[in-house]
């Protein structure tokens, strides 16, 4: 479905992502983990087209999308959310999602219908007429997902959707992510909160300093020596 091949990105002399390869199967929830600054968001920006990679390739459904612009990647069927949420502040929640829906439809009415559906899906219907800037952080994260879903994606990149949520909201977020998978959408997720990533991922890829340190099932990765080392230091490994 989504394949990353020897992806490398240098910012000046700094290798943010180095020779990274992984493969996400259709319908999978694929977790990408790593300590702060490991390069997770950079990987998203490379897939999504915000940065061109220094070298390497991104394949989506067998087709290379390397170097495509973000709007083209979105049209191909890869949607994303942002870790630092980017609501269109002075638009209402409904209008925010309508902008996304216009990715697939042209008329105002169709866009409104699609947007309402996405809001319903994410449990934001009651806030549809609020200005996006008035939302709580939890609702802003939902808005990110609603916007991504309204583009009718085949795959979705979730960047720390659960960060900053309280325990009740966390459970709702996990529920929502599982619901996205039930829609047949493949999910690539970056997450720091282990409760979330361990309980929902089919497969986890761990990176540090932009390089692969482990890949496997959540259980395998959790017990991997290099992963423990990267997170807790050598003394605990």
Partner 1 sequence: MERKRQFKDFLPWLILAGLALVPLFLNNPYFLHMIIMVFIWVCLGQSWNLLGGFTGQVSFGHAAFYGVGAYAGGLLAFHFDASTWYGMILGPLMAMAVAVPMGLICFRLRGSYFALSMLALAELLRLIATNWISFTNGSVGILIVPTAGKVFYYYLALALAALSFSVIRGVVQSKWGFYFVAIREDQEAAESMGIDTTKYKLVSLLISAFFTGLTGAFYMNYMAFIDPSVVFALTDVSIMMILVVMLGGAGTFYGPAIGAVIMVIFSEVFRIYFGSANLLVLGVLIVLIIIFIPNGLMDIREYLTRRKYA
Among 6, 55, 71, 199, the residue binding partner 1 under the rule CB under 8 A is: 71
221 to 32, 211, 215: CA distances (angstroms)? 11, 15, 6
H or E element, residue 196: helix 194-200
**Residues contacting partner 1: total by CB under 8 A:** 28
Which CB, 11 or 175, lies closer to partner 1?
Answer: 11
For the CB of residue 70, give the shortest distance to partner 1 in the complex, in Å. 4
Interface residue with partner 1 among 26, 52, 75, 199 (CB under 8 A) is 75
Query: Of 159 and 215, which has the nearer Cβ to partner 1?
Result: 159
Q: In sequence order, what are the residues at sequence separation of 6 or more whose Cβ sits closer than 8 angstroms to the Cβ of residue 177?
A: 29, 158, 161, 187, 189, 196, 200
Shortest separation between residue 112's beta carbon and partner 1, angstroms = 11
Per-residue x/- track, 78-97, partner 1 (CB under 8 A): -xx-x---xxxxxx---x--
User: By CB under 8 A, is residue 68 in contact with partner 1?
Assistant: no
- CB within 8 A of 36, min separation 6: which ones? none
What's the closest the beta carbon of residue 81 comes to partner 1, in angstroms?
A: 9
Bridge-based pairing of strands 63-64 and 78-80 is: unpaired
CB 20 within 8 A of CB 209: no
Contact in structure between 142 and 99 (CB atoms under 8 Å): no
Binding residues for partner 1 (CB under 8 A): 48, 50, 69-71, 74-75, 79-80, 82, 86-91, 95, 98-100, 102-103, 106-108, 111, 147, 151
């Amino acid at each position: 479905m989504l394949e990353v091949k020897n992806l490398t990105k240098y910012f000046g002399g700094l290798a943010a992502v180095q020779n990274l390869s992984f493969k996400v199967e259709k319908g999978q929830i694929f977790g990408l983990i790593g300590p702060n600054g490991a390069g997770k968001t950079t990987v998203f920006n490379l897939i999504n087209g915000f940065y061109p990679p220094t070298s390497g390739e991104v394949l989506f459904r067998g087709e290379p999308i390397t170097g495509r612009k973000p709007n083209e990647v979105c049209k191909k069927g890869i949607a994303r959310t942002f870790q630092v949420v980017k609501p269109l502040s002075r638009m209402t929640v409904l209008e925010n999602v309508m902008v996304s829906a216009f990715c697939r439809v042209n008329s105002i009415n169709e866009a409104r219908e699609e947007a309402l559906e996405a809001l319903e899906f994410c449990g934001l219907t009651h806030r549809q007429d609020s200005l996006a800037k008035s939302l709580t952080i939890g609702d802003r994260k939902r808005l990110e997902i609603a916007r991504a879903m309204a583009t009718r994606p085949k795959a979705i990149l979730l960047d720390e959707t659960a960060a900053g949520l309280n325990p009740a909201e966390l459970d709702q977020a996990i529920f929502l992510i599982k619901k996205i998978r039930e829609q047949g959408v493949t999910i690539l997720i970056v997450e720091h909160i282990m409760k979330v990533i361990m309980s929902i991922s089919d497969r986890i890829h761990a990176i540090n300093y932009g390089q692969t340190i482990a890949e496997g099932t959540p259980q395998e990765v959790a017990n991997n020596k290099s992963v423990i080392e990267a997170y807790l230091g050598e003394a605990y490994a």
